[in-house]
Amino acid sequence: MSFESLNLHPSLLEVIEKQGYTEPSPIQEQAIPAVLSGKDVMAAAQTGTGKTDAFGLPLVQLLSKGPKAKRIAIRSLVLTPTRELAAQVCESIKPYASAMNLNCDVVFGGVKINPQILRLRQGNDILVATPGRLIDLHNQRAVDFSKIECLILDEADRMLDMGFIPDIRKIIKALPEQRQNLMFSATFSKDIRRLAEGILTKPINIDVSPRNSTAATVKQWVHPVDKARKAELLAHLIWDKVWDPVLIFTRTKHGADRLVKRLEREKIPSMAIHGNKTQGARTRALKSFKDGKIRALVATDIAARGIDIEQLPQVVNYELPSVAEDYVHRIGRTGRAGMDGQAISLVSLDEKKQLKEIERLIKADLESIPVDGFETTETADFVAKNKEAQKEQRKKAQEGRRKNREKRMGAPKASSSKAGASKTSGSKGSAKKSSSDNATSDSTTKKKFNKHPAADHQGLNTGKSKQAFKSTKKRPKNTHK
Ligand code: AMP
C-alpha cells in the first residue's frame, strides 16, 4: 500500500517523502483512514511502529479544514504520560502541521510555566501535554479548551500505570462533549478497556500487534548471574561484545546512579536518566547519548518512556522490572521501526519470579545463556538471607535519612521522650515532586519501512505480526555467541 492511496493531502505526501518513508506501517495503514472518517479510534500499537504519524497525519489533515486557533484556544489535545514522549510527539507532528499552515506546541512540567503561558497566548491547533502541567495551565486560565475538536490519549496504558487517570478524567470533564477521541496503547488490559469505554463512543478498534507482544525483530535472551557480579558482567559484556550504544534499565533511581559510577570506573562513559534528575540533566543525558558522546544510558522505567533513538541495537535489563508489562515497554526501545535489536536480561536467582511472569506475559521462554567465568553460585538459602540483610540495610538507611532530616530542620537533639520538646512530628518533609520524566527529542528519524514477514528470530519472539516491517537502513550486525 502507498501513502497516496490513503487520501492524504499532497502537501502531507511531500513531507512524508522528505522523511524518507516509502510506505505506511501497518498501524498507519489502518489508523489513517479510521481517523480521517471522524470516528473515535482505539488502537493497540507499540512504540516504534509509527503510531505517532498514524494519528498525527490524519489529525493535521482534519484540522486544516477548519478555522485556525485563536488566542488561548486549542483545537486538539494530545496527552502523553511523560515529558520525553510529549516533546517527541510534538517534534514528529510539527513538519506536517507547518506544511498545512497549522501550529503545534508542547507543554510539560519540570520547566518554568511562564514561558509556556506566553506561548499559549497565540492559540494552538495542536497542543501536546503531560496531564499535571496542563491542569496547572488550565487552572491559571492560560489555555481554553472550549474549541477542542479532537482528544488523543497516547500510551494510555502507561498513563494508567503512572496514576494519571484522575487527572485525565479532570481534563476530560473540562472538554466540549462533541469531539473525536483517539486512544493508543501498547497493551490493552481490562482497566484500559474500562477507561476507553468511558471516553470513546463506538470506536473503530485497531490491533496490529498481538497483545503484550514484543517486536518480532528483537532477539531476547537471559544471562544468569549472581546478583553481586552483575555490574562486573555488564562491563565485561559491553567491552567484549562492543555494545555501543547500549541502553540499560535499572529498577531504582539510586541503582541507576550507582551503576553509572561503576561503569565510569570501568571506562565506559555513561549517564543516568531518571525522575530525580532535573529537566536539564535529563535532556543533556539523552542528547549526549543520541550524539554518541556517551556509550551507555542508564534509565529507570518511567524515564525511558518516549526515548526514540535511531539504531538502538542493544537494550539491557540490568534488573528485571517488577511489573512484567514494563519488560515489553523496555525492549520496545530496540528493534524500532522494523530494525533488528537485542534485549539482554541479567537475571539473578532472586528474580526468578519476575522472569516467570515476563515469560507468561510474552508467551515465550527466554533462552538462558551462561557466560564463561560468571557461572552462578547463589543458592535459594543465600538469596533468602540476602533479602533479610537488605531489609535491615534499608531500615538503617531510612533511619539515617530521618535523623538527617531532623537535624536539617533544627529538631531537638533528644528526639523522643522529653516532655515539652518542640512539635517536630509534623515534618513538612518530602517536597512535592512530579513523577513524570523527560527530555527533548532532537532528531527526526528517516527510515524506509518495507514489510519483512520473515523477521521471526529463532523462535525467541512471540508474534509473527503484520507489524514486522524492516528499515532499509543498514547498520553493522551485532550478534552474540
Ligand atoms: P513511533 O511508533 O511513532 O514512536 O515511531 C517510531 C519511528 O518510526 C519514528 O522514528 C518515526 O520517524 C518512524 N516512522 C514512522 N512512520 C514510518 C514509516 N511509514 N516508514 C518508516 N519510518 C517511519
* Beta carbon of 283 within 6 Å of any ligand 1 atom: no
* Beta carbon of 88 within 6 Å of any ligand 1 atom: no
* Beta carbon of 48 within 6 Å of any ligand 1 atom: yes
Of all protein residues, the one whose alpha carbon is nearest to atom 22 of ligand 1 is: 447
Q: What is the pLDDT at residue 121?
A: 96
Q: What CATH number belongs to 3-207?
A: 3.40.50.300
* Beta carbon of 84 within 6 Å of any ligand 1 atom: no
With beta carbons less than 8 A apart as the criterion, state whether 46 and 71 touch.
Answer: no
241 CA to centre of ligand 1 in angstroms: 28
Of all protein residues, the one whose alpha carbon is nearest to atom 5 of ligand 1 is: 50
Q: What is the pLDDT at residue 403?
A: 83
Q: What is the pLDDT at residue 109?
A: 93
Q: What is the pLDDT at residue 307?
A: 66
What letters, b where the CB count within 10 A reaches 16 and e where it falls short, cover 86-121?
A: bbbbbbbbbbbbebbebbbbbbbbbbeeeebbeebe
50 CA to centre of ligand 1 in angstroms: 4
Pick the CATH number of 218-375 from 3.40.50.2000, 3.40.50.2020, 3.40.1160.10, 3.40.50.300: 3.40.50.300
Q: What is the pLDDT at residue 157?
A: 85
Range(s) within the chain of domains with CATH label 3.40.50.300:
3-207, 218-375
Residues 253-269 pLDDT 10s: 999 999 999 999 999 99
* Beta carbon of 336 within 6 Å of any ligand 1 atom: yes
Q: For residues 124 and 73, what is the distance between their CA atoms, to the nearest angstrom? A: 6
- The ligand 1 atom nearest the CA atom of 45: 2
Of all protein residues, the one whose alpha carbon is nearest to atom 13 of ligand 1 is: 50
CA-closest candidate to residue 59, choices 82, 28, 26: 28
Q: Please choose from 13, 22, 52 the residue to mutate so as to test ligand 1's pocket, defined by most ligand atoms within 8 A of CB.
A: 52
Q: What is the pLDDT at residue 460?
A: 26
Query: Strands, E, within 93-217: which ranges?
Result: 104-107, 126-129, 150-153, 180-185, 204-207
* Beta carbon of 81 within 6 Å of any ligand 1 atom: no
With beta carbons less than 8 A apart as the criterion, state whether 235 and 268 touch.
Answer: yes
Of all protein residues, the one whose alpha carbon is nearest to atom 23 of ligand 1 is: 50
Q: What is the pLDDT at residue 158?
A: 84
Residues 123-177 pLDDT 10s: 999 999 999 999 999 999 999 999 999 999 999 988 887 889 899 999 999 999 9
Q: Please choose from 1, 4, 16, 21 the residue to mutate so as to test ligand 1's pocket, defined by most ligand atoms within 8 A of CB.
A: 21
* Beta carbon of 105 within 6 Å of any ligand 1 atom: no
Which stretches of the chain score pLDDT less than 70? 209-216, 302-311, 335-339, 380, 382, 410-481
With beta carbons less than 8 A apart as the criterion, state whether 18 and 181 touch.
Answer: no
328 CA to centre of ligand 1 in angstroms: 18
Whether the model clears a pTM of 0.75, i.e. scores above it, the answer is no
Q: What is the pLDDT at residue 209?
A: 59
Of all protein residues, the one whose alpha carbon is nearest to atom 6 of ligand 1 is: 48
312 CA to centre of ligand 1 in angstroms: 14
- In terms of C-beta distances under 8 Å and separation of at least 24 residues, what long-range contacts does 348-353 make, across chains too? 348/224, 348/225, 348/226, 348/227, 348/230, 348/376, 348/378, 348/383, 349/226, 349/227, 349/376, 349/378, 349/379, 349/380, 349/382, 349/383, 350/227, 350/378, 350/383, 350/386, 350/387, 351/319, 351/320
